[in-house]
Structure 1
Amino acid sequence: MPSELDPKKQREFAVRVVKQLREAGFVAYWAGGCVRDQLLGRTPKDYDVVTNALPEQVRKIFGHRRTFAVGAAFGVITVNGPKGAGQIEVATFRSDLGYSDGRHPDRVVFSSPQEDALRRDFTINGLFYDPIEDRVIDYVGGVDDIQRRIIRAIGDPYQRFAEDKLRMLRAVRFVAELQFSLDPHTAAAIRELVPQIRQVSPERILMELERLFVAPGRVEGLRLFRELGFLDVLLPELKPDTEERQSIWELNLRVLGALTDPDFPVAFAAVARKLVTPAELPPICKRLRMSNQVTAKIIWLIEHENDLDCAHLRPWWEVQPILISPWVHDLLKLAETRAVQEGKNDLASFHWCRERLQWPPEKLNPPFLIKGDDLHALGLPPGPIYRQILQEVRRAQLDGVIQSREAAIEWIQRKLKSMNGTGERK
């Protein structure tokens, strides 16, 4: 939820939208996730309203300047609220006809509240709520399933998943986010149909994975992800198909569960570590349409996950480049959590790293003493030697051997002299 949104104003606006539709002579309820969250004692992130008013009638009630008809083909009108209240999607009760692409209805027909509820994915999302009379309208048994903490498809799960393949993955994500269990009949349908998830765009799959990997019940969610066959279809490179890989998989899930509020790259790195090499990660990330930034972070975390284990025993010039990375705090969290889950009691190196990270910037990462221009001024022809010399000077600087630009220049002159053996630069 964007920080500028005020939950109180959102709710007040959602009530007002229902009132205005009622005053105009229409039926109107809250629908979907906001009803579910309210019954769970959570503050809804957003609100959706359903009504028997047609899209053009909705626009007339709220005014064309405050409404957008982006989803009008599906009976959805977006209504802009006052500052801090956000937007509300007002949808006409509908039934969906045909899903030839396995994701979106070919066309819709406007219908009744009951028919609208029956077209939705899971019973917990098929509820309506009347904020004026404070009552829940339940055509699908969603209230009972919330009380039983079960994710269950509405009606025939095979039909629900045939309509929209992404619903299969959403079921697992809801299990992880809400820490519910999955209805056995719904699970059986997913196991049979799971290869069809490939019909869904990688971008939409990634959006579900990003939420699954960081959900409160992410460990059980990923166990279910594997058990239902999603791991084989979407992430076969991570399959724990040997005894050794199974041991790594279990350790990785323990690490994932022990991490405090990980973001997606950290969570993915925790699960993927030791199951794939850094070199194997780029095609996986590309296949899932991860951004370059996310891909780089995952690869960096896995490349360096063991580099801090004995940091306090290694030369400072080796450790310092890691500690100045913008991702070092995530690396520390991942590496220390993994060490604890491996049963290691000596965490001195991680404490040492955190102490170093308290240093002022000019001490932790002092400016370089020389640049390539300095080497050019000394008459050295450009080439690979530049990188070698600059690295050596930097190491000597970090270790305190060289502490000024003048000393660095003298050091380079001595090195060049020793390299050509005659005192004349070649």
Structure 2
Amino acid sequence: MNDFQQQVIAILKEHAPIWLVGGVVRDQLLGMPSQDIDLVSPLQPEKAEEILRKNNFEPLRLGKNFNTLTLFTENKRIDLVYAENLFQDAMGRDFTINAIYLEPNSGEIFDPFDGRKDLEDKVLKCCGTPEDRFREDPLRILRMVKFAVKYQMKIEEKTWEEARKLLDLLANVSKERITAELAEILVLEEAEKAARLLAEVGYWDVFVPELARLQGIVQNEYHSLDVWEHTMAVFRNTPPDLFLRLAALFHDIGKWETASRECFLSGKLEYSENKYRIDKYVIIGTRGKGELDSKLRPLIGKEIKILGARLDEYPDIVQFKRLLLGEDLKKGISYVEKGKRHFLNHEKASARLLAEILQRYTFTMHFAGGGQKRQDDLLKLVENHMQATLTFMPEFRGGKAKNPFEERAAELVWKLCWDGRIFEVQNIHDFVVLWRADFMAGKVHTEAQIKLFEEIQAELINVALWQKETLSKFNWYLLQDFAANQGLSGASLGRFKNFVRAKAMRERQPEINLPFLKKAYVQFNKR
């Protein structure tokens, strides 16, 4: 305890007995430090508040019945709870390990539920009847998971069974309290174990089914794990940062709805209700709105055959891959023998689903700076987490790409770090951390691919640092003079400036000069 906490205890003890309880006692018995302290006293809240204010403290009245006084200072917190007697107070506490009372001067311990023995035996159980404790505050179900993992404890069977039975009551708890508890759980040293416990108790099934349904989804030959186990591996590979842990946990949730297998589909192509169809099967594109119109519209009413990908969960939907010309037009649908396993555009689906999930929580309150901006960064990261793999796929496959390696690296970094107003180097840091966690999570790689991966990561970081530094040195007055001579102003000037900025970053142009602006202007007008 610090001087502030000791001073408060000394002042209050002059008027009534004071006991330490909860985390401060538990952690002291475990030899661990504790930031905040909980106190229990028969001192009436009104009297305690009066005493503290006379001694120049400013307590706040909190709690359901305003029976708790709270003091803050120097990142320390004291909660003083009123209780007529200790056993009455203990009956309302969550777990036996948190119902151990310590008299701060004499060292006397009051332990009505043998919490010290449970600490020694590493058994987590409720005080009194588990059903009563969880009904009083269902959030204790999440706290159960946190304590079990943090202190490596086994959950008592009755406590566990009641938690599973009463899990639905968490729907009555405010999302602010739920989020605060999850924010602590997700950054535990063994957070993967906590995520699995949440699955076993049924939390993901009930409250985040988008995550729970990943279990058992088979992936392609490049993965040795199903989607759920791969997700756990990525989660395990991620450092204890809430932003990155959320990205890891939800980066592949779109795979359930995009999981597909290669198929052949042939028959008469029809178009109705703004959809292309063959028989009962709806054909959808994966490369933008114009893809199907350019490939299929001229063929409406004709017999065709396509190579597609039939969705597992929506078997009447086929993703378009390409037309098969001169092929046997045997009507109907059939899977390709030894065909590819696909999750086409799963990263976009993941970002969309994550946006929906985040509305159930208040994680913006827990991100280290940025708030809503940081949440937007999270969605952008998830939506683009495959971009490096796709960008450098030719190299990973031992081939060559149309565009130079350096140009593609610069374009990727610009896409990830520029938000339209400022350049965020943090974004490339987040990206490479998640990509590494994903790349090493049960995927099959050669030594050459791993070496290439390391080289690409280093290049992306170097490019980001170069772009950040170079942007700050650009002479925009030269651009403004040039644009004025071309008759550009207002919105058109803004668009030209954005075009020049992006072009300079992609081409690694160290400065803006007249020849570069002239070339950029020609390209700008041809768009």
Q: After alignment, is 341-350 or 146-155 more displaced? A: 341-350
Measure, in 2, the Cα distance between the counterparts of 1:85 and 1:194.
Answer: 33
Quickly say closer, same or farther: Cα 1:151–1:327, change in 2 above 3 A.
Answer: farther
Q: CA deviation at 1:315?
A: 2.2
Matched, 1:51 2:51: no
CA deviations over 1:160-203 (Å, ceiling 9, x no partner): 11111111122112223333232221110111111121111111
Measure, in 2, the Cα distance between the counterparts of 1:400 and 1:80.
Answer: 51
Structure 1 segment 14-413 matched on structure 2, within 5 A = 14-24=5-15, 26-64=16-54, 65-71=56-62, 73-79=65-71, 84=74, 86-93=76-83, 111-239=84-212, 240-244=214-218, 247-261=226-240, 263-276=241-254, 277-291=350-364, 292-309=372-389, 315-321=408-414, 322=416, 324-325=423-424, 326-341=426-441, 342-344=443-445, 345-346=450-451, 347-357=454-464, 359=466, 361-363=468-470, 367=474, 375=483, 377-380=485-488, 387=495, 390-391=498-499, 394-396=502-504, 398-400=506-508, 403-412=511-520
SS of alignment partner, residue 144 of structure 1: helix
Partner of 2:345: none
Task: Confirm or deny: 8 A CA contact 1:357 1:364 kept in the other structure.
Answer: no
Q: After alignment, is 275-284 or 348-357 more displaced? A: 348-357
Partner of 1:3: none
Measure, in 1, the Cα distance between the counterparts of 2:27 and 2:34.
Answer: 6
SS of alignment partner, residue 66 of structure 1: coil
SS of alignment partner, residue 50 of structure 1: strand
Q: CA deviation at 1:304?
A: 2.4
Measure, in 2, the Cα distance between the counterparts of 1:190 and 1:171.
Answer: 9
TM-score normalized by the length of structure 2: 0.66
Q: CA deviation at 1:145?
A: 1.4
Measure, in 2, the Cα distance between the counterparts of 1:249 and 1:363.
Answer: 42
Measure, in 2, the Cα distance between the counterparts of 1:60 and 1:14.
Answer: 18
Quickly say closer, same or farther: Cα 1:391–1:63, change in 2 above 3 A.
Answer: closer
Q: CA deviation at 1:284?
A: 1.3
SS of alignment partner, residue 440 of structure 2: helix
Measure, in 2, the Cα distance between the counterparts of 1:181 and 1:343.
Answer: 35
The percentage of counterpart residues that share the same residue type is 23
SS of alignment partner, residue 140 of structure 1: coil
SS of alignment partner, residue 53 of structure 1: coil
Q: Give 5+ residue unaligned stretches, structure 2.
A: 220-224, 255-349, 365-371, 393-404, 418-422
For this pair of structures, how many residues does the alignment match? 389
CA deviations over 1:278-312 (Å, ceiling 9, x no partner): 12222211122343234212212212223334665
In proportion to residue count, which structure has more helix?
A: 1
Quickly say closer, same or farther: Cα 1:374–1:181, change in 2 above 3 A.
Answer: farther
Measure, in 2, the Cα distance between the counterparts of 1:397 and 1:330.
Answer: 20
The higher-RCO structure (CA 8 Å, 6+ apart) is 2
CA deviations over 1:236-270 (Å, ceiling 9, x no partner): 11122543388122112122222223x21210110
TM-score normalized by the length of structure 1: 0.81
Measure, in 2, the Cα distance between the counterparts of 1:247 and 1:416.
Answer: 46
CA deviations over 1:195-235 (Å, ceiling 9, x no partner): 12111111111111111111112111110101111001211
The letter for the 2-side match of 1:329 is H
CA deviations over 1:370-408 (Å, ceiling 9, x no partner): 768854651258778974784366325641568433123
Measure, in 2, the Cα distance between the counterparts of 1:203 and 1:302.
Answer: 23
Measure, in 2, the Cα distance between the counterparts of 1:374 and 1:195.
Answer: 64
SS of alignment partner, residue 267 of structure 1: helix
Q: CA deviation at 1:129?
A: 1.1
Q: Give 5+ residue unaligned stretches, structure 1.
A: 1-9, 94-110, 420-426
Quickly say closer, same or farther: Cα 1:124–1:223, change in 2 above 3 A.
Answer: same
